[in-house]
Amino acid sequence: MNAAELDALLRQFLVDGKLSKSERTTLTGWVQKNVTTDQQRSVARGQVFDAGRTAVADPAAALVLTFIEDVLKVVVPAHPGSAAEEPDSVAVFSPGDACLGRIIHRLTACRQSADICVFTITDNRISDAIHTAYRRGVKVRIITDNDKAEDLGSDIPKFIATGIPLVVDRTPFHMHHKFAIFDRARLLNGSYNWTRGAAEQNMENIVDTADPTLVAAFQKEFDAIWKKLS
């Protein structure tokens, strides 16, 4: 699924606050081409609400959009007639948009917290989703490594400027992890750095799991690293 393409379309459509006939046709074509699974439908729906929250200036209005999104997950689930449930664990691979889509999906779906521990973050599509989550009230924390934090194209300075809590490993060694925990209930972990190269060129992987033992183990490690580097 081309998440960046949908984001660009939504920004364009939101300029006048209306969905014209031609825009509806364009959007329908994009959906037919890109949305073939319930997971992709969930990601796309989340992007629509995130775009709306970004467009409104009133924080109260943004909260109303979050409320509507949560209600729709109950009233209109991904599987008609049943609760919209995701598998406990799933593996996705790159090159391609599967890993990128999985990361954006988790950032869009989380409500309370996003603890991100990743060696390098340069993909603006992911960075935009992190900023959007932070703006809607998600408690975001980021751990990264100094070897890549100051590289050209790194999005770490943007997070610092925004005020997102962040710590950097400045030891002679590397904080080489690539994992994230969402709402202390869901874990993403794998070889995938959060970069365009990982999406477009590299053979990488991400495991997305709700296994409570794994989530607890990685949360404990995140908290330990955060305390050590703070």
Catalytic site positions: 176, 178, 183
Whether 189 and 163 have beta carbons less than 8 Å apart is answered as: no
Quickly list DSSP for 189-208: EES--BSHHHHHT--EEEEE
- Rounded to whole angstroms, the Cα distance separating 96 from 123 reads 14
Separation between Cα atoms, residue 33 and residue 89, nearest integer Å? 26
Return the residue matching tokens 């300075």. Answer: 157
- Residue 103's contacts (CB-CB under 8 Å, 6 or more residues apart) are 126, 129, 180, 188, 194, 206
Q: How many CB atoms lie within 10 A of CB 178?
A: 21
Tell me how far CA of residue 116 lies from CA of 19, 188, 195, in angstroms.
35, 9, 14
Token pair for 224: 């330990």
Q: Could you give the CA distance from residue 38 to residue 20 in angstroms, rounded to a whole number?
A: 26
